[in-house]
């Protein structure tokens, strides 16, 4: 996933300003280690750090239309009615803009953040993908300039104020502001009523996975052993039958005791993928914390716990020569996979909120943990077409109903429960959810807490509200992460602008017991988890098993 930096409307258009933009753009080089580019037009600068996934030989950016009056960085798609100078999927942006104007953004299908400059009238538009898979930030300089960047670190020293650019939004200099371009029916407050059709759901997901297999470089799958990553691997390997898919890996703090590790091995054996396991110790994870927080740019406890293994794993994966991976983010939010959904009182309470916040948590983790090492993560569960289908299903089908044999994410499990041509072993298909940070072993979380306890005193935590009045940490672990974050981004929570770091993630408090829980990990649902494992876990008879192919 490439890195972009745009500075538009600078009062200073000197060589010194160009050098400064290049210097700041270098802070994003981890996102795009393959090449750098910059375009300067009067008082506007567009800089780019490229990760070459499609057309490595000729797709350097910024990209242009035929007469080079339109300059753009980063997006995804195809268009046949123009002459293309590269094989990069990003070039389509300039041509779509020429043909359709600003309204073309809803035609894009994929993950993207881009800045487009029209030099004919010096106007520009900026947009971010529907869910916020790719990060984007927006800032303002004292000289009246407006800035856009893939990560905060390129803005924090030179912008007086900066904020997160909202997913599914477009900024237009012509129309003077930000507007939402992504307006699917499920975004409203109405309750969807489409009946559940397992075949439609399965086919939509298969298309989403296959669509993400377009690449000119080696790729793999992040196989945790959970339902979501296992389904991604199963669909990809079935589509690539005869090809050795590189399954990249299960992680463990406990060399042989991790529940995810055992399941990942079994899935890899079942699918016949080329599997790699990467192990790390608690101390190795602790040693990486400062780097992790610098790259993911948040102090959220759950995000840091889960990002550290992913950060370490991404480095190992890159060492294998892999530049792109498929991952399973988004499924839990779409289908109610987290164990606290057992407490959802009704279908109106069941949906939306978690999906709208994905850009602050899971998308942020997946993108920045991998991009730290020049690795691109693609997420088929967040395919725009698939989400629109999945979110239109009447949420009554997604409700957890033990009396009907429906566990969490039953609609997804049932869609892939094919007796004639199984995608996965039955017990993997119906395996209960593990938090990422919990699935790699509880010793990781305990080690983090012990380390934080050594560095944060009772007095420090007692006075936390005075030191950090915004999003005040409530545990020593949260306080410790906050001190590291403030070292790198000291202005983020200052009076000069609101914080763009996400606040502490909390499960939806459908039950009074949640408000008493200070630990945001999956342990909050241990009662649910243990109860669900009482007795044999025999999956219910499928509502309707789609025919084998």
Reported as a single tens digit per residue, the pLDDT across 83-122 is 444 445 556 788 889 889 998 999 998 899 999 999 999 9
**89 in a labelled binding site:** yes
The torsion of the CA quartet 283, 284, 289, 295, rounded to 10 degrees, works out to -170
Residues contacting residue 130 through CB under 8 Å, at least 6 positions apart: 167, 168, 182, 184, 384, 387
**Structure confidence at residue 487 (pLDDT):** 93
b/e code 10-28 from CB counts within 10 Å (16+ = b): beeeeeebbebbeebbebb
* Preceding omega of 487 cis (within 30 degrees of 0): no
pLDDT reading at 20 higher than 80:
yes
How many percent of the chain have pLDDT more than 70? 77
Write out pLDDT tens, residues 462-489. Answer: 999 999 998 899 999 999 999 999 999 9
Write out pLDDT tens, residues 214-237. Answer: 888 889 999 988 899 999 999 999
> If DSSP codes are grouped into helix, strand and coil, which group holds residue 236?
helix
How many percent of the chain have pLDDT more than 90? 53
pLDDT band at 261 (very low <50, low <70, confident <90, very high): confident
pLDDT reading at 547 higher than 50:
no
User: Could you give the CA distance from residue 343 to residue 510 in angstroms, rounded to a whole number?
Assistant: 6
Domains delineated in the chain: 3-183 (3.60.20.10), 198-452+500-532 (3.40.50.620)
The kind and range of the H/E element at 138 are: strand 137-140
**Structure confidence at residue 502 (pLDDT):** 46
**328 in a labelled binding site:** yes
pLDDT reading at 540 higher than 90:
no
pTM: 0.88
Enter the DSSP assignment of 121. Answer: T
Nearest alpha carbon to residue 81 among 73, 68, 91, 69: 91
3-state helix, strand, coil in the chain (%, to 5): 40, 15, 45
Pick 349 or 43 by higher pLDDT: 43
Pick 522 or 491 by higher pLDDT: 491
Most confident segment among 93-107, 153-167, 174-188: 153-167
> Which of these ranges, 74-78, 377-381, 414-418, 520-524, has the smallest mean pLDDT?
74-78
User: Could you give the CA distance from residue 145 to residue 147 in angstroms, rounded to a whole number?
Assistant: 7
Q: What angle do CA 501, 507, 512 make, to 5 degrees?
A: 130
Sheet of strand 324-326: strand arrangement = 274-279, 246-252, 219-221, 324-326, 376-378
Q: What is the mean pLDDT of residues 121-127?
A: 94
Catalytic residues: 2
**Structure confidence at residue 53 (pLDDT):** 81
User: Could you give the CA distance from residue 371 to residue 377 in angstroms, rounded to a whole number?
Assistant: 8
> Which of these ranges, 37-41, 123-127, 204-208, 377-381, has the smallest mean pLDDT?
37-41
pLDDT band at 350 (very low <50, low <70, confident <90, very high): low
pLDDT band at 69 (very low <50, low <70, confident <90, very high): confident
């Amino acid at each position: 996933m490439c890195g972009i930096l745009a500075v538009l409307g600078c009062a200073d258009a000197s060589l010194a300003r160009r050098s400064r933009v290049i210097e700041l753009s270098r802070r994003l080089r981890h996102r795009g280690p393959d090449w750098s580019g910059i375009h300067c037009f009067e008082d506007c600068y567009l800089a780019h750090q490229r990760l070459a996934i499609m057309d490595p030989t000729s797709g350097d950016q910024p990209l242009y239309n035929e007469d080079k009056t339109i300059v753009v960085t980063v997006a995804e798609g195809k268009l046949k009615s123009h002459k293309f100078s590269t094989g990069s999927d990003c070039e389509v942006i300039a041509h779509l803009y020429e043909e359709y104007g600003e309204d073309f953004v809803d035609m894009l299908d994929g993950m993207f953040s881009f800045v487009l400059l029209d030099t004919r009238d010096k106007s520009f538009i900026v947009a971010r993908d529907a869910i916020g898979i790719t990060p984007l930030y927006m800032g303002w300089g004292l000289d009246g300039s407006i800035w856009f960047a893939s990560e905060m670190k390129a803005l924090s020293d030179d912008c007086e104020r900066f904020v997160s650019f909202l997913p599914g939004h477009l900024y237009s200099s012509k129309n003077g502001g930000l507007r939402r371009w992504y307006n699917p029916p499920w975004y409203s407050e109405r309750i969807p009523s489409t009946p559940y059709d397992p075949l439609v759901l399965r086919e939509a997901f298969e298309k989403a996975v296959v669509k993400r297999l377009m690449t000119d470089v080696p790729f793999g799958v992040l196989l945790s052993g959970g339902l979501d990553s296992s389904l991604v691997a199963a669909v990809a390997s079935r589509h690539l039958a005869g090809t050795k898919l590189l399954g990249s890996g299960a992680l463990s703090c406990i060399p042989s005791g991790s529940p995810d590790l055992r399941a990942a091995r079994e899935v890899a054996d079942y699918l016949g993928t080329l599997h790699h396991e990467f192990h790390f110790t608690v101390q190795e994870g602790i040693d990486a914390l400062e780097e992790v927080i610098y790259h993911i740019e948040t102090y959220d406890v759950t995000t840091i716990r889960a990002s550290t293994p992913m950060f370490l794993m991404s480095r190992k994966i890159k060492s294998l020569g892999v530049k792109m991976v498929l991952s399973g983010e988004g499924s839990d939010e779409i289908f109610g996979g987290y164990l606290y959904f057992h407490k959802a009182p009704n279908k109106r309470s069941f949906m939306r909120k978690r999906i709208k916040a994905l850009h602050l948590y899971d998308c942020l983790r997946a993108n920045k943990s991998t991009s730290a090492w020049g690795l691109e993560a693609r997420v088929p569960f967040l395919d725009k077409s698939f989400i629109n289908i999945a979110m239109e299903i009447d949420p009554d089908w997604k409700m957890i109903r033990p009396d009907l044999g429906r566990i969490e994410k039953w609609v997804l499990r049932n869609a892939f429960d094919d007796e004639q041509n199984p995608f996965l072993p039955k017990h993997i298909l119906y395996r209960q959810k593990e938090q990422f940070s919990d699935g790699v072993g509880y010793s990781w979380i305990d080690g983090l807490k012990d380390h934080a306890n050594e560095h944060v005193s009772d007095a420090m935590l007692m006075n936390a509200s005075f030191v950090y009045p915004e999003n005040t940490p409530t545990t020593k672990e949260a306080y410790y992460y906050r001190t590291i974050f403030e070292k790198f981004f000291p202005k983020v929570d200052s009076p000069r602008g609101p914080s763009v770091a996400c606040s502490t993630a909390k499960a939806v408090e459908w039950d009074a017991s949640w408000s008493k829980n200070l630990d945001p990990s999956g342990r909050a649902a241990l009662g649910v988890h243990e109860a669900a494992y009482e007795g044999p876990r025999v999956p219910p008879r499928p509502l309707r098993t789609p025919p084998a192919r």
